[in-house]
Amino acid sequence: MIRLSTTDPAAPAAPRSGAADTAAPPPGRDRVVGSTEVLCVLLVLVGVLHRQVGSLVSDPRLQTWLTVFVSVLVQAMPFLVFGVVLSAVIAVFVPRSFWARALPRHPALAVPVAGAAGVVLPGCECGSVPIAGSLIRRGVTPAAALAFLLAAPAINPIVLTATAVAFPRNPEMVVARGGASLVVALAMGWLWLRLGRSEWIRLPHRAHLDTMPRATAFWAACRQDVVHAGGFLVLGAMAAATINVVVPQQVLHDLAAGPVLSVLALAALAVLLSICSEADAFVAASLSQFSLTARLAFLVVGPMVDLKLVSMQAGMFGRAFALRFAPATFLLAVLVAAVVGTVLW
Amino acid sequence: MNRGSQAVVLVLLGGAILRASLTDVYLRYVKQGLRPFLIAAGVVLVVAAVVALVQELRHLNRPDDAGDGADDGHGHGRSGPAVGWLLLLPALALLFLVPPALGADTASRAGSALTDDRDVAYPPLPPREPAELTLLEYGYRAVYDDGRTLRGRQLQLTGFLAPGPDGHPMLARIVLSCCAADGVPIKVGLRGEVPALPADTWIRATGRWIPHTVKDPVNDADVPSFQVDTWERIAAPAEPYE
């Protein structure tokens, strides 16, 4: 008799939410059917019926959706795992006192230091969300962690190199992108210092990692962050794949005509497409019917606000946070990109 | 979502990624350069899952030893890790459905890649007959160099068939810069001995450049043409993208 679920220490404690748990009888009883059993039955069903499921998705457009969905996840997974491992290292092996020493004591000064530190993190936006969460949990002031969150995916050497390769005839695009992104990241950090409220941020509950053996704590932190951030990444990838398949390209062509409209259109497209920041420069380069300013807006907005990122931020910091932070970042990013673009071109 | 289920989900996800990246399947979704990182990520996921499973088993034997299981117990906010169940979708899709590489559907919906005049000197083709070219290379030489380096040469192009806007079939291939989400098709119109095969069939066509360019109705990109002399049907290449 399999009774794995009784080992779940949650059973007698608080009632939990989630699709899996609706299948379980109310807590308090000695449960026989739990989430793990449901999972096993589901897996057996999929194993037996996958041919039938496969023939259901033979429509070419549905297949394109599936391919784009899977590829967004496959592309993001190494970066997510890298970010999760790094955030577990921060959570388990870096003592709290380190951050007090590494960052200036005054929060207004900690913001630029943390933002500039984003230069050294070679990755894309999926990895920086768990890292920022981990930094806040370890006592770094949220304003500094948020500046890092916004700056890291946009100004690291890999992304800037990709931008230089994608725009061989406009090398100033690299400077414009790095500069505008850093300005937005720092401005958002300082804006958070003035207007932000700490109760907007609700980090998901974590065990007291300090009390566990270090190896156990490290793997537990990795597992929880992957499951949590990864789940929201799946939501974002589904949205991005849907946009990719549904929005007709002719629409874009018509939007490129007006100078203001084209900037707004590409900024919105950056949000919807949710392309990894290491690839977005190539996509921007291919949108050649749009002005350089519009494409700069695409490159500045993309790594800071997009569907999968907002989804992951809502998961990591809470919905109240994401609902305020993402629109403010979007507006500021469009504004800064428009100003920089107008000055340059 | 308790520790046991988390471990099962992660084993499936890590296993799916490992299986895709140890075979050629991953090339349908991302570029070759990502392979070592995919393998590393898969290994980390599997190890994290195995560690959790070992703790779960140890906990079964000694229920008083809470281990890190305690972390799964008390309140995980409203948006709790139930969202982690969603990770089953990509894992099962990769294990059982194995979505195909992008093909004719993308080629017919998205505009062709030839939108940007590249200011480079095109070197002469290698002397071997027929000269093998990628579709992108053929397109640039045909459109932006007026076919200067292509005149009088036997050329060989590889791609899949896609229905063209003007009724003529096209030879197409998808160009990736990072992953399939940013895939853009490169299209070449076919003339002459055009194979009457269904869309998404891969062929290797031998023929000549002809000075005929049309506009892609989707994005006004240039679509060059190719005069086919002979062709053969081939299996889809392991690296389907350019």
Take residue A265 and report the two structure tokens written for it: 């259109």
- Residues of chain A contacting B43 with CB distance shorter than 8 Å: none
**Phi then psi for A91, rounded to 5 degrees?**
-70, -30
The distance of B229 to chain A (nearest Cα, Å) reads 30
Q: For residues B209 and B135, what is the distance between their CA atoms, to the nearest angstrom?
A: 12
**CA distances, A106 to each of A94, A112, A145, A150, A345 (Å):** 21, 11, 14, 20, 37
Please state, as a whole number, how many other Cβ atoms lie within 10 Å of the Cβ of residue B238: 11
Largest CA distance in chain B: 82
Report the relative pairing of strands B155-163 and B131-133 from DSSP bridges: parallel
Give residue B192's region: left, alpha or beta (phi > 0; psi -120 to 50): left
pLDDT in tens, chain A (345 residues): 333 333 333 333 333 343 333 444 444 444 456 677 777 788 888 778 777 777 777 888 899 999 999 988 898 888 888 888 888 888 788 888 888 888 898 989 999 999 988 887 766 677 888 889 989 988 899 999 999 999 988 888 878 888 887 787 889 999 999 999 999 999 999 999 999 888 888 887 776 666 778 888 899 888 988 888 888 888 878 877 887 888 887 777 778 878 889 999 999 989 988 877 776 887 787 777 788 999 999 999 999 998 888 988 998 899 999 999 999 999 999 999 999 999 998
- Residues of chain A contacting B94 with CB distance shorter than 8 Å: 70, 74
Q: Is B206 helix (H, G, I), strand (E, B) or coil?
A: strand
What ipTM was reported for this prediction?
0.90
pLDDT tens sequence across A233-249: 888 788 778 878 888 87
B214 touches chain A (CB under 8 A): no
Please answer whether residues A111 and A132 qualify as being in contact, where contact means their C-beta atoms are separated by less than 8 angstroms.
Answer: no
The pTM score is 0.80
For the purposes of burial, counting CB atoms within 10 Å of the CB of B2, is it exposed (0-12), middle (13-18) or buried (19 or more)? buried
Query: Which residue type, as a one-letter code, is found at position A75?
Result: Q
B40 touches chain A (CB under 8 A): yes
Q: For residues B115 and B201, what is the distance between their CA atoms, to the nearest angstrom?
A: 26
The reported pLDDT for the residue numbered B69 is 44
| A339 contacts: CB under 8 Å, gap ≥ 6 | none
- Domains in chain B, please, with CATH? 3-99 (no CATH), 105-233 (2.40.50)
The reported pLDDT for the residue numbered A67 is 93
Query: Which residue type, as a one-letter code, is found at position A150?
Result: L
The reported pLDDT for the residue numbered A280 is 81
A255 touches chain B (CB under 8 A): no
pLDDT tens sequence across B158-177: 999 999 877 789 999 999 87
Please state, as a whole number, how many other Cβ atoms lie within 10 Å of the Cβ of residue B234: 12
| Residue whose pair of structure tokens reads 């920022």 in the numeric block | A132
